[in-house]
Structure 1
Amino acid sequence: MRTTFMANANTIERKWYVVDAAGQTLGRLASEVASILRGKHKPTYTPHVDTGDHVIIINASKIELTGNKLNDKIYYRHSQYPGGLKSRTALEMRTNYPEKMLELAIKGMLPKNSLGRQMFKKLHVYAGSEHPHQAQKPEVYELRG
């Protein structure tokens, strides 16, 4: 009788990928990166184990949004004090905090538990085209579409 392969922490081999966000649509890029972080692109994917790879995203400041979302999409956060609701448009976020914009989109596509937090730690986002992870010899990942 054959048994289904179940990955564990000892059998996982992690790779490093570089993704160029220049000219890419935010949601489409985020969903593909979230899939890599979860490990769903591997045949050894196991739902209860973090089988994902590290992803480096460069040129986050050149991400695109469709339609009029740059002006209409609003990011909210709260200071936990009464009346402490703060808001920023997507244009302000892309200008001042391009890494945060991508991180929020990808984090929303990962599981909301300890495994998801562990997966999120493998994401490295940079606004420019330079990154400090050359020693890991990352492969260039071509996005579909």
Structure 2
Amino acid sequence: FCNLSFFRPKELVLDDLDRDKFVRVVPPEEIPQRKVMLGQRQLATFSRVWYLFDAKWQCPHLSGEKIARILRGEHKPIYYPGESTGDCVVAINTRHIALRNDAWRADALHVRREYAKTRYDIPLFKLHEIDPTKVLHLCVLSCIPTDNTRRFDMARLYTFPDDAVPVHLLKNVCDQIRGSRIIPKRLDDLTSNDIEKFPQMFKWPKELVLDDLDRDKFVRVVPPEEIPQRKVMLGQRAGRQNYWFHVATSRHEEVKIH
């Protein structure tokens, strides 16, 4: 029989009596205890938290996924499908949402009714003019599965076109949802110092620079009452050559706009 274990020197072997010189066992009464009790943490988990979301210049599709996750309560450890464990969300500035590319004109809301020849599409830009909160509401609704708690989850969503929120709702807000996009600065928000410090690639010649006083000689601002308005005729079908707006999809009907 061969013992492969090596032998330790005597100076490295500690007896039970000598171990107390080097190792000290901390008694339970000296262990620092947390101030937060388990009962308090449990109550905070089951409570409903109110979140504030600023939808200004945010994509409603990306924002809808974030809001739907909080409305359903998927961010909580007690989440279970079919149980109402979500929080409340207050969305403001829904009038200033931003869609990708040309989605305002290219995408449309398909409305199907149970009567013959009553299917029609309404473009998103027209829907946004009618109700500025409807686009974000529909994006959140599409991210929630169709179960028994869907309408109760959507009832905890409060959408406002501007930043005017009732006082009784703002008193409940205690957290904020971070947006999916970084809001850039507008040219109107830049100060004169920021414009001067901005590096210039080249300088335009003086004969090509138009001052504010001279610009009126070349450029005329059209007032809103002179802009021709186009009306959407819903529920009508005609030739494609008479269409200004056309949804090129198989499910959508065409919309005639004069």
Range class of TM-score, shorter chain = 0.7 to 0.9
- TM-score of the superposition, structure 1-length normalised? 0.84
CA distance in 2, matches of 1:137, 1:66: 30
Larger RCO: 1 or 2 (CA < 8 Å, sep 6+): 1
Whole-Å separation in 2 of the counterparts to 1:70 and 1:12: 40
RMSD: 1.7
- Is 2:109 the partner of 1:75? yes
- Name which of 133, 140, 143 aligns with 2:176: 140
Partner Cα distance (2:96, 2:174) in 1: 21
Deviation larger for 22-31 or 74-83: 74-83
Task: Tell me the secondary structure at the aligned position of residue 101 of structure 1.
Answer: helix
Q: How many residues align?
A: 135
Kindly state the Cα deviation for residue 117 of structure 1 after the two structures are TM-superposed: 1.5
CA distance in 2, matches of 1:115, 1:140: 24
The whole-number CA distance in structure 2 between the counterparts of 1:144 and 1:87 is: 29
1:58 equivalenced with 2:92 (yes/no): yes
- CA 1:82–1:138 in structure 2 vs 1: closer, same or farther (change >3 Å)? farther
Gaps of 5+ in 1: 1-10
**Quick one: distance in 2 between partners of 1:80 and 1:60?**
31
Of the three residues 142, 145, 152, the one matched with 1:118 is: 152
State the distance in 1 between where 2:93 and 2:154 align. Answer: 19
Structure 2 length-normalised TM: 0.49
User: Which amino acid counterpart does residue 141 of structure 1 have in structure 2?
Assistant: I
Identity over aligned pairs, percent: 25
Q: Distance in 2 between matches of 1:81 and 1:46?
A: 39
Q: Cα deviation per residue 1:80-113 (whole Å; 9 max; x = unaligned)? A: 3322223211111222212111111111111202
CA distance in 1, matches of 2:179, 2:47: 21
Return the index of the structure with the highest Cα Rg.
2
Q: In the alignment, what sits opposite 1:106?
A: 140
Q: Does 1:90 align with 2:124?
A: yes
